[in-house]
Amino acid sequence: MQSADTANSLVGTWKLVSFQFEVEGNDERRDAFDEHPVGVVIITAEGRLLTLITASNRAPTAAASDLFDSMMAYSGLYRLQGNRLITTVDSAWHPAWVGTEQARSIKYDGDTLSLMSPDFPRTSEIPRAAGSRHSDLA
């Protein structure tokens, strides 16, 4: 699939179905926040990506630091390079991400999009988020 075809296929709103760490070298996976994370990835034709992921068990009375630790969110302009989606972050839940490039390997299979972060700073675990296309979220 050519890059323009891939970009057009990715445009839309994707509902998060899993957010896991995968152990390099085998199929072992563990949930990053909990078993049923909540979130969306929005990819626009104009080149913007927005990601919001939270744990499903966040209590409204929890301390702000606990709520912060159970989420991630960022947005920026993206580009495709081969099978990599690279976002130049211009806003994020964590200020250290602003100005960075977040690269994700992509696997697209019809109505399922998987984003993997092999460059994540852990030695043996790779974050993997998977989402399904949802037109009712647009």
Structure confidence by residue, pLDDT tens digits, 123-134 = 344 445 556 666
Query: DSSP string of 61-88?
Result: TS-HHHHHHTEEEEEEEEEEETTEEEEE
Structure confidence by residue, pLDDT tens digits, 86-110 = 999 999 999 999 999 999 888 888 7
- Give the SS3 label for residue 34: coil
Domain count, the chain: 1
The model's pTM: 0.80
**Do residues 106 and 129 make contact, with C-beta atoms less than 8 angstroms apart?**
no
Range of the domain at 8: 3-137
Strand locations in the chain (E): 12-23, 29-31, 38-43, 48-54, 71-81, 84-92, 101-109, 112-116, 125-133
In CATH, what number is assigned to the domain containing residue 16?
2.40.128.280
